[in-house]
Every structure is written in C-alpha cells, then in structure tokens.
Amino acid sequence: MSISRREEVLHAAAELFAEQGFHAVGMRAIADAVGVRGSSLYHYFPSKVDLLHAIAVDSTRAFIESQLEDLNPSPDYASRVRKMMFDHVVYFHEHRMEEAVGLRELQELRKHKPEAYTELQTLRRTYQNELERLITEGRDKGEFSCEDPHITTLAILGMVNTINDWYRPHRDGPIEDIADIYSSLIVERMLGKTA
C-alpha cells in the first residue's frame, strides 16, 4: 500500500511548515524533501497557499470528524468527556505536524484564503461547542460541580493543544500515560466529578 506522490508532498510540506513556519519554507525545500524539482509541485497544487490550505483544512476536518462521529454511547458524561480528551491527546500527538500547522498558520490562511479560514474556524467552534455542551449538561445532571463551563472549556483546550510543545516521547514516557493524567486532571479535578 504505497502512498501517492501528492500525499508525499503534503506530508513533507506539513513537516517543514510545522518546524520552520510557512514563510520560512520555500517550494524548493519542499521539492528537495520529496526528491523532485520545484516546478513539479505545481502539477499537484496550483500555489503554495493551496498546499497550506490542504494541510490545515484536511487535517482539522479529519480530527473533528473522527472525534465527533462516535461520541460514545456511554451513559455518563464523565466517561464521555474522559474518552474525548484521552483521544484528543493521542490523536494530536500522532498527527502533531499537521495539527501544528493548523494551529499556527491561521492568519496566513485568513489573509490568502478567507473561505478556508472560515471553514477552519467553524470546525473548531463545532468541537468546542460539543465539549462545552457535555460539560454543561453533565453539570446540570449533577455529575460535575463545574462553575463556569465556557471558560473551563477554553482552559481545557489550551492545556491539551499545547502538549506537543513540551512532550518528547523518550523523555516523558508513552503518550497514553500523559493522556491518562490529563484526562483525570480534567474530569476529576477541573470538572469536579462528584462521587
């Protein structure tokens, strides 16, 4: 099962954009990483910004959809939030290059592809709303003692989205362990899971 050249280009570009930033990476550098000439990239993407577009929107959509499709059938809210956060941490680690690009190059997309920027913001907002809804309903059901679901949601997302800034597998152990610690911190402590 070999991957297409187009996917090769996307992956190489994501890695370089994540490490150095969109403007620091030239089309020639991406081409070098794939083993072709700069002009060959234009066979797959009409411009450098379209490359960024594909990386940011595709990866964000894939993440949101995978997270929201099987909002698991667990009856209690605590289990549902716990699973959502655990999966979030693991997924963000496994796709850290693409997700870093999606988080950091927002303004570039806003400038050159406004409709792609809007789509990204809508996707993020959908995810944020879903988390806030789980927290609010869980609190109304008496499962949580959380005081401010909105701000707490933003705090949680800030926490989990910055793990990749410090996490190094060899030094910090398996990502699943980190995901466990964060999930507990969120559900038991920040949300004050009762009983």
CB of 159 to a copy of itself, least distance (A): 5
Q: Does 115 bind a copy of itself (CB under 8 A)?
A: no
Q: Residue 53: which of 116, 1, 100 has the closest Cα?
A: 116
SS3 content of the chain, % helix, strand, coil (to 5): 80, 0, 20
Q: What is the dihedral of CA 33, 108, 116, 131, to 10 degrees?
A: 100
Alpha helices, DSSP H, located in 70-174: 77-94, 96-104, 106-112, 114-140, 149-161, 163-166, 169-172
Q: Does 11 bind DNA (CB under 7 A)?
A: no
Q: Residues 11, 21, 32, 36: which binds DNA (CB under 7 A)?
A: 36
Q: What radius of gyration, in Å, describes the C-alpha atoms of the chain?
A: 19
Q: Does 73 bind a copy of itself (CB under 8 A)?
A: no
Using CB under 8 A as the binding criterion, the count of chain residues that bind a copy of itself stands at 33
Q: Which does 37 bind (CB under 5 to 8 A by kind): DNA, a copy of itself, none?
A: DNA
Q: Does 60 bind a copy of itself (CB under 8 A)?
A: no
Q: Residues 10, 16, 27, 163: which binds DNA (CB under 7 A)?
A: 27
Q: Which residues bind a copy of itself (CB under 8 A)?
A: 19-24, 104, 107-108, 111, 147-148, 151-152, 154-155, 157-163, 165-166, 178, 181-182, 184-185, 189-190, 192
